[in-house]
Amino acid sequence: MAAASTKKKSPPRADTRWFRITEKILYTYPTLDAAIQAQKTLSISMDQNQLPSCTAKYGDLSGSPSTGEKLTEPESWADKRLKNSSRIDARIKILQARKDAVDGALARLDEDSRQLVELWYFADWARQKKPGNRAVWKELGISRNTFGRRRAVVVEEVARWLGELVTVDMVGE
């Protein structure tokens, strides 16, 4: 009979798809407020008649504005405005939902994990190309190997909370 394994669970590998997706979400998090504001500004400019209005021309005022076969030029502009406005509103909702989800995940982290995320993903040096130059582990007072393990565990937790990672224990199998 085989004894139950007491082997420690190793940290997740950084080359898995969910890991990379979660890191991308964390790296882009600081830019979400600016992206939301830019989309709102674009939406406002669309509302302030930056495109021609939808004034249709009719040959017979008692008839319908269009037969549906082909849109008139003003109807075409109105249609473009409506589609663009809908796309912008959808982008705003997606960006806001992403920001709210990351905010919620960050709120669930303990203080040490939150500090790791803020230093590694949100600080100015996160934009540097060479991760070896980022001495975050020194700032946290831990070894580089310990930092790597903690970072992997934190990203896995955030991924679970964001729904990027579905594990067997979450499904109940």
Q: Which of 109, 121, 103, 100 is nearest to 24 (CA)?
A: 121
The answer to the question of residue 6 being in a domain is: no
Backbone angles phi, psi at 41, to 5 degrees: -65, -40
The boundaries of the domain holding residue 47 are: 17-52+72-167
The answer to the question of residue 77 being in a domain is: yes
The answer to the question of residue 1 being in a domain is: no
The answer to the question of residue 31 being in a domain is: yes
The answer to the question of residue 10 being in a domain is: no
The answer to the question of residue 9 being in a domain is: no
Number of compact structural domains in the chain: 1
Q: Which tops the pLDDT comparison, 115 or 75?
A: 115
> pLDDT digit string (tens) for 12-63?
565 588 888 898 899 889 889 999 999 888 888 776 655 555 555 555 444 4
The answer to the question of residue 103 being in a domain is: yes
Which 3-state string (H, E, C) describes the chain?
CCCCCCCCCCCCCCCCHHHHHHHHHHHHHHHHHHHHHHHHHHHHHHHCCCCCCCCCCCCCCCCCCCCCCCCCHHHHHHHHHHHHHHHHHHHHHHHHHHHHHHHHHHHHCCHHHHHHHHHHHHCHHHHCCCHHHCCHHHHHCCCHHHHHHHHHHHHHHHHHHHCCCCCHHHHCC
pLDDT grade, residue 88 (50/70/90)? confident
Q: Which tops the pLDDT comparison, 163 or 153?
A: 153
